[in-house]
Amino acid sequence: MTNFDYALWIPLLPFLSFLILGLSANKIKARAAGLTGVLSLVLATALSLLLAWSYFGAHGGGHEQAYAALQPLKWVWLRFTDTLPFEMGILLDPLSVMMLVVVTLVSLMVHIYSLGYMKGERGFARYYAFLSLFTFAMLGLVLANNIFQTYFFWELVGVSSFLLIGFYYDRPSAVAAAKKAFIVTRFADLGFLIGILILSYYAGTFDFAQLNAPDGPVLSKDWAPVFGGHSLMFWALLLIFMGAAGKSAMFPLHIWLPDAMEGPTPVSALIHAATMVVAGVYLVARLFPVYELVDYGAALQVVAWVGAISALLAAIMAMVQMDIKRVLAYSTMSQIGYMMLALGVSDGGADALGYTASLFHLFTHAFFKSLLFLGAGMIIHALHTNDLREMGNLRKHLPWTHWTFLIACLAISGIPPFSGFFSKDEILAAARENHFWIFAIGYFVAGLTAFYMFRLYFTIFWGRERQYSHKPHEGGWNMKLPLAFLALITLVAGFIPFGEFVSADGLPHHSALDWKLAGSSIGIALIGILAAMYLYSEYKQLPSQIARSLGPLYRLVERKFYIDDIYAFVAKRIMIDTIGAGVAWFDRHIVDGTMNLIGRTTLRLSSAIKGVQSGQVQHYALAFLGGALALAVFFFFRS
């Protein structure tokens, strides 16, 4: 067996880079900082590719044998109890190795891209420090061998996301967005943590291998329903899924994602498109056997519906956005909804097609979506605006961007032979097998996706020429190269026989395309594209007329279904202004008031009785005799 100990260096290299950059803070030169970051990532990427090569290679292609789940490293980090230690370890299985490749590759691309994009920014070193920190955390999350380690890195990616969204900390909107992202995911993580507590209390372990084992403490038992007709395990899984939904911006915890676009665009590409936001999918996939088997997959049903609703709502909202990055953000949400949906519908079959499909989509999506974001970054870099209404006819000015963007758009719309087509098709196939309505939503969303993506494409690259303050031009090689590379992957990734590597039971599966389904999904995608082309390839009044005719409905979508407002109401009005202010008032006036009252009463009492000491010696004598008599009376009543 190959020795995989070096896997530890994959997360450790970015961490070292973070330490170097973080400690040298603002003293280090921008160039050196960038190089440190990129170099560490280059090494990490090389290592993970090597690892993937040897891991999948070691298998030798035998089709009957499952990929082994390896734990090359494991040590107790903090001993909670003797039976429930908090371990740090590395778990290598197809899922994590695949993620490893995705994360390091995308991260490397973003690191290189940022050299150009962030050039001359204040806090360049800080930016790279945060990027490294994020990469470290994400890799740690991917490699985690137990759920508590996952939680550890889960929080860490949350914080690095917070730091990166708020990178332009002097922009109030960025600060607000960072706060929102952190708090919303934190709220979701609360569920995650409680879920872990419940799960580990009943299972007695954090370890994924044991949790997922068919004869393990979770799956070998029948959990009696205790609450709401479901077992505690179900509720635990649901709570864990709450964490996953928060991180993956699933409805109704999605509100932070669009705002998170306040961060630098490469960050959005890395964190809010390719890696961190799919952590939720990854988590559910990690615990897939548990989700699948506890309460007969009841939790998966929830996952499926949440995914479907998110996919639909996000797609609808994406259609009306005027900010290039927000469109992409909603599309991300929608695509992750797809992945969740796919996981959710994969309960029935033994080969669990949805599982493979979901992760395949995760894989392909990571590349084409980061490509989209990096392309958007190019545009923003060139125009210094995010607003679609200030763009148009850019294909002449930004040819590289144009072509790569187009490839990505085709991929996401599901047009063969681009990667998105293969993965999305598999998802639809899986959904069709299991649940008609979910399939229907998925199918409909596919059309919407094609529509809004090409709305974006046509608005930016076609349409009418705008008055640009200076002639837009593309960035240097360090920005073009990642685009090209990602486009290349987008082109070829679809042909990877993904099922051979990643599947629910670890066995290699071969999946064939169902051309009937594929045809119809290409069809709806084309309809979407054509509609977008009709509406947006040249400047027309029509889109706004349609919008106006839809009236309140349009307004509803534009206001993001008022979900943000509900949150704002709950957070600000109820939590801060009512409970927070209430507690503060209660504390100042009731609790503290009581204490002060005790003091004041004592003082007042003291003043009230001062007259007793009248200065009249005869009064004193009376008191004296009274006292003596009182003693006598006291005695007589006593006996």
Partner 1 sequence: MIEGVSIQEIMAVSVILFFIGVYGFLTRRNLISILISLDLLLNAVALNMAAINRYLHPDNFQGHFFAVFIIAVAAAEVAVAIAIIVDLYRLIHSVDVEEVDKLKY
Partner 2 sequence: MDWQKLILMRDELSLTVLLLLLLVLEIAMDSRRKHQLPTIALALFALHTALGFLPLASGHLFGGMFHTTPMLQLMKSILNIGLLLVLLQAHAYVRSEWVGRERITEFYFLLFSSLLGAYFMISAGDFLMFYLGLELASLPVAALAAYELSRQRSAEAGIKLVLSAALASGVLLLGISFLYATGGSMYFEDLQKGLSPNVLSVLGFLFFFSGLSFKISLVPFHFWTADVYEGAPISVTSYLSVVSKGAAVFVLGILLVQLFPLYADIWREILVVIAILTMTLGNLFALRQTNMKRFLAFSSIAQAGFILLGLLAGDSRGMTAVLYFVLIYAFSNLAAFGVVQAIALHTGKETMSEYEGLYRSNPRLSLVMLLAMFSLAGVPPVAGFFGKFFLFMSAAGAGYYGLVLVAVINVVISLYYYLLVIRAMFLRKSEQPIAHFVSDLPMRISLVLCVAGILFLGLYSPVYEWVLGLVL
Partner 3 sequence: MDILTSLVVVPVLTVLALFFVKGLRQARAWAAIGTGIELLLAIWLTVWYLQLRGAGHTEEMLFMRDVLWFKSLNIHYAIGVDGISVALILLTAIVLFAGVFISWHMQELSKEFFISLIVLGTGVFGFFISLDLFTMFLFYELAVIPMYLLIGIWGTGPREYAAMKLTLMLMAGSAFLLVGILGLYFNSAPGGGQLTFNILEIARLDLPMNMQRFLFPLIFMGFGVLGALFPFHTWSPDGHASAPTAVSMLHAGVLMKLGGYGAFRVAMYLLPAAAAEMSWIFIILTAISVLYGAFGALRQTDLKYINAYSSVSHCGLVLFAVLMLNKTSFDGAVLQMLSHGLMTALFFALIGMLYERMHTRDIYKMGGLMKVLPVISSVYVIAGLASLGLPGLSGFVAEMTIFVGAFQHEDLFYRIAVIGSVSAIVVTAVYILRAVGIMLMGPLKNPAFADLPKAAWQERLGILLLLVPIAGMGLFPGWLSEMIMNSLDHIVAKF
Q: Which pair of structure tokens corresponds to residue 407?
A: 């490839």
> Using the rule CB under 8 A, is 583 a contact of partner 3?
yes
Is 350 or 609 the residue whose CB approaches partner 1 more closely?
Answer: 609
Q: Which pair of structure tokens corresponds to residue 536?
A: 């947006």
What's the closest the beta carbon of residue 629 comes to partner 1, in angstroms?
A: 11
Is 465 or 592 the residue whose CB approaches partner 2 more closely?
Answer: 592
Q: Are strands 230-231 and 70-79 parallel, antiparallel or unpaired?
A: unpaired
Is 572 or 619 the residue whose CB approaches partner 2 more closely?
Answer: 619
Amino acid identity, residue 284?
A: V
Is 542 or 631 the residue whose CB approaches partner 2 more closely?
Answer: 631
Q: Which of residues 150-209 bind partner 3 (CB under 8 A)?
A: 151-153, 155-156, 159, 162, 166, 169-172, 175-176, 178-179, 182-183, 186-187, 189-190, 193-194, 197-198, 200-201
Is 566 or 628 the residue whose CB approaches partner 2 more closely?
Answer: 628
Q: Which residues pair with 74 in a beta bridge?
A: 89
**Count of residues touching partner 1 (by CB under 8 A):** 11
**Which one of 12-20, 142-150, 401-409, 612-620 is the stretch in contact with partner 1 (CB under 8 A)?**
612-620
> Using the rule CB under 8 A, is 569 a contact of partner 3?
no
> Using the rule CB under 8 A, is 617 a contact of partner 2?
yes
Angle at 635 between CA 629 and CA 637, to 5 degrees: 105
> Using the rule CB under 8 A, is 631 a contact of partner 1?
no
- Interface pattern 596-615 for partner 2 (x via CB under 8 A): ------xx-xxx-xx-xx-x
Is 25 or 628 the residue whose CB approaches partner 3 more closely?
Answer: 25
**Which one of 258-266, 441-449, 583-591, 619-627 is the stretch in contact with partner 2 (CB under 8 A)?**
619-627
CB neighbours of 134 closer than 8 A, spacing ≥ 6?
A: 107, 157, 160, 161, 164, 270, 271, 276
Is 519 or 626 the residue whose CB approaches partner 2 more closely?
Answer: 626
Q: Which of residues 63-82 bind partner 3 (CB under 8 A)?
A: 76-81
In whole angstroms, give the CA distance from residue 199 to residue 197. 6
Q: What is the three-class DSSP state of 3?
A: coil
Is 3 or 81 the residue whose CB approaches partner 3 more closely?
Answer: 81
Q: Are 429 and 503 in contact (CB under 8 A)?
A: no
Before 252, cis peptide (omega within 30)? Answer: yes
Q: Position of tokens 């200065």?
A: 615
Could you give the maximum distance between any two Cα atoms of the chain, in Å? 116
HSE-up of 305 (CA within 13 Å, CB side)? 6
Q: Are 122 and 25 in contact (CB under 8 A)?
A: no
**Which one of 252-260, 360-368, 575-583, 622-630 is the stretch in contact with partner 3 (CB under 8 A)?**
575-583
Scored b (16 or more CB within 10 A) or e, 241-277 reads bbbbbbbbbbbbbbbbbbbbbbbbbbbbbbbbbbbbb
> Using the rule CB under 8 A, is 630 a contact of partner 2?
yes
**Which one of 223-231, 276-284, 513-521, 628-636 is the stretch in contact with partner 2 (CB under 8 A)?**
628-636
Binding partner selected for residue 631 from partner 2, partner 1, partner 3, none, CB under the kind-specific 5 to 8 Å limit: partner 2
What's the closest the beta carbon of residue 587 comes to partner 2, in angstroms?
A: 22
> Using the rule CB under 8 A, is 406 a contact of partner 3?
no
Q: What is the three-class DSSP state of 145?
A: coil
Is 201 or 437 the residue whose CB approaches partner 3 more closely?
Answer: 201
In whole angstroms, give the CA distance from residue 129 to residue 14. 9
Q: Are 219 and 248 in contact (CB under 8 A)?
A: no
Binding partner selected for residue 611 from partner 2, partner 1, partner 3, none, CB under the kind-specific 5 to 8 Å limit: partner 1
Binding partner selected for residue 550 from partner 2, partner 3, partner 1, none, CB under the kind-specific 5 to 8 Å limit: none
Q: Are 275 and 138 in contact (CB under 8 A)?
A: yes
> Dihedral of CA 196/198/204/209: which sign?
negative
Q: Which parts of 166-219 fold into alpha helices (H)?
A: 172-203, 208-212
Is 108 or 199 the residue whose CB approaches partner 3 more closely?
Answer: 199
> Dihedral of CA 425/427/430/434: which sign?
negative
> Using the rule CB under 8 A, is 635 a contact of partner 2?
yes
Q: Which parts of 384-435 fold into alpha helices (H)?
A: 399-413, 419-434
The contact set with partner 1 (CB under 8 A) reads 610-611, 613-618, 621-622, 625
The contact set with partner 2 (CB under 8 A) reads 602-603, 605-607, 609-610, 612-613, 615, 617, 619-621, 623-628, 630-632, 634-636, 638
